[in-house]
């Protein structure tokens, strides 16, 4: 079994049992120690990193999710408590509640990754939020009951402390654990990377100065700014550090929540600023999404349209036909025209490829203007273009082809004060029948159009070739 969230293994290895056991034991003890050092008198930990860290470890290294490693993790907690506390038997229940969060969240994250079937995504933020919520609820329910013997508070205050601590630290730590990578330091530190960090620092300072519950939301815009500028691991780290700093500032009454702040005399000031800060965040996200959508549209356009001429590319035409197929209502009469600029190689040889490119662009623009809403124009490659006209019978298709041919022949192209006269050979493929789709009609009419294009070239070029009855009908109308 491979790791669920990381491709490289810097510490654990599936085939090294003793190293894995030692690693789980050491990490559990180390982060238990960090949490214990932050404990306030007669209360649960101010900030308890152990559960989030170990859940992240088990999620990243799926092969660690075995009863043995769960037991080692649990054992490390019991050993630490037996040395540093006098909780006695209560320690078994309290630490079991920690294991509930660790095992449940890790299992849910691994299941989520397996269901993604290798989809290239780091984490699903909504799922992560839900998993931490579920894990915190169950862990708090068990932990609050277990803590009654070692705490003089009632169930509800204990449950509130357990739940808020587990949930908050899980949401802060797990994104870092799941996206953590070894830093490469390839890019130089630039101003556009420093300004978001300064924004976070300034917003934290404003939280201290203003105070009130609303001030806790002040860093949100700066954190979104960081998310736009930084990589996912870096953004998760900055968010984690910001959250930890706010928890510490609140716990030490540096950010005043219940009392009057240092700058203002009304809690409404803090509340209004906090609401305004929250309100601006969706706008920031919306603008970012709009920019991403615009970029995606540009990428899509580059794929669907020929960069030189602006008409559809070969692949873009096929994608458009597929979209038309989905809408249904396929007409019975279709026409396909295959166009080839006569003696185009001579233009490149005489005037250069720059001139040739401009001629191709001007030719495509002329054809597009003539066809208009009656059909689709695409460049198939080189100097060869195709016009697909749904709802166009053979006679109408021939008329459009002749409009193109005569317009090209009568309007010279300008190049550095030179007038270049062009002609175009056209092959027309048309048929009236019950087509299954636009794509099917195009595919079946293309060989016919190609065959008649070949006839136009052999017959002297600058002409439109089609079925004999189509040419006869056109001649009668002209006569």
Domains, the chain, ranges and CATH? 1-182 (1.10.1760), 314-478 (3.30.70.270)
**pTM value > 0.85:** no
- Residue-wise pLDDT for 372-413, tens only, equals 999 999 999 899 999 999 988 899 999 999 999 999 999 888
Cα 120 → chain centroid:
10
- Indicate the pLDDT class of residue 41, thresholds 50, 70 and 90: very low
pLDDT: which is higher, 446 or 295: 446
- Residue-wise pLDDT for 98-109, tens only, equals 999 999 999 999
- Residue-wise pLDDT for 457-470, tens only, equals 999 999 999 988 88
What are φ and ψ of residue 263, in 5° steps?
Answer: -105, -30
CB neighbours of 4 closer than 8 A, spacing ≥ 6?
59, 60, 61, 62, 109, 110, 113, 114
**Which of 164-178, 188-202, 221-235, 348-362 has the largest mean confidence?**
348-362
CB neighbours of 104 closer than 8 A, spacing ≥ 6?
131, 134, 135, 138, 139
Query: Averaged over 253-282, what is the pLDDT?
Result: 57
pLDDT: which is higher, 172 or 378: 378
- Indicate the pLDDT class of residue 25, thresholds 50, 70 and 90: very high
pLDDT: which is higher, 278 or 118: 278
Residues facing 465 on adjacent strands: 427
Sign of CA dihedral 321, 327, 332, 333: negative
């Amino acid at each position: 079994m491979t790791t669920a969230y990381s491709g490289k293994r810097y510490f654990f290895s599936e085939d090294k049992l003793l190293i894995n056991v030692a690693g789980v034991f050491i990490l559990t003890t180390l982060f238990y120690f960090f949490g214990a050092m932050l404990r306030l008198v007669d209360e649960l930990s101010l900030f308890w990193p152990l559960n989030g860290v170990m859940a992240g470890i088990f999620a990243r290294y799926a092969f660690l999710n075995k009863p043995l490693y769960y037991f080692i993790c649990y054992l490390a907690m019991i050993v630490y408590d037996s040395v540093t506390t006098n909780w006695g038997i209560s320690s078994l229940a309290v630490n079991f509640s920690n294991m509930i969060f660790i095992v449940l969240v890790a299992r849910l994250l691994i299941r989520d990754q397996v269901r993604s079937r290798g989809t290239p995504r780091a984490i699903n933020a909504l799922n992560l939020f839900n998993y931490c919520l579920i894990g915190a609820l169950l862990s708090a329910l068990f932990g609050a009951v277990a803590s009654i013997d070692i705490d003089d508070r009632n169930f509800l205050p204990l449950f509130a402390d357990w739940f808020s601590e587990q949930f908050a630290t899980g949401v802060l730590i797990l994104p870092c654990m799941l996206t953590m990578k070894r830093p490469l330091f390839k890019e130089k530190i630039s101003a556009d990377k420093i300004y978001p960090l300064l924004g976070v620092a300034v917003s934290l300072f404003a939280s201290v100065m203003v105070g009130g519950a609303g001030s806790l939301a002040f860093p949100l815009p700066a954190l979104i700014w960081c998310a736009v500028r930084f990589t996912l691991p870096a953004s998760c780290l900055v968010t984690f550090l910001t959250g930890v700093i706010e928890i510490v500032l609140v716990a030490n009454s540096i950010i005043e929540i219940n009392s009057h702040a240092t700058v203002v005399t009304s809690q409404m000031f803090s509340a209004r600023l906090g609401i305004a800060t929250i309100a601006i965040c969706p706008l920031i996200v919306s603008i970012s999404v709009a920019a991403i959508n615009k970029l995606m549209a540009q990428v899509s356009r580059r794929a669907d349209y020929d960069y030189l001429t602006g008409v559809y590319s070969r692949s873009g035409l096929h994608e458009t036909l597929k979209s038309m197929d989905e809408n249904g209502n396929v007409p019975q009469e279709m026409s396909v025209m295959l166009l080839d600029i006569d003696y185009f190689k001579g233009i490149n040889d005489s005037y250069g490829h720059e001139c040739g490119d401009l001629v191709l662009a001007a030719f495509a623009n002329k054809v597009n203007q003539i066809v208009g809403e009656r059909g689709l124009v695409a460049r198939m490659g080189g100097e060869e273009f195709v016009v697909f006209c749904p709802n166009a019978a053979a006679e109408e298709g021939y008329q459009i082809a002749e409009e193109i041919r005569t317009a090209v022949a009568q309007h010279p192209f300008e190049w550095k004060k030179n007038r270049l006269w062009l002609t175009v050979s056209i092959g027309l493929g048309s048929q009236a029948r019950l087509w299954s789709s636009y794509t099917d009609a195009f595919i079946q009419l293309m060989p016919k159009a190609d065959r008649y294009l070949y006839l136009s070239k052999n017959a002297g070029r600058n002409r439109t070739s089609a079925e004999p009855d189509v040419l006869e009908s056109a001649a009668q109308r002209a006569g």
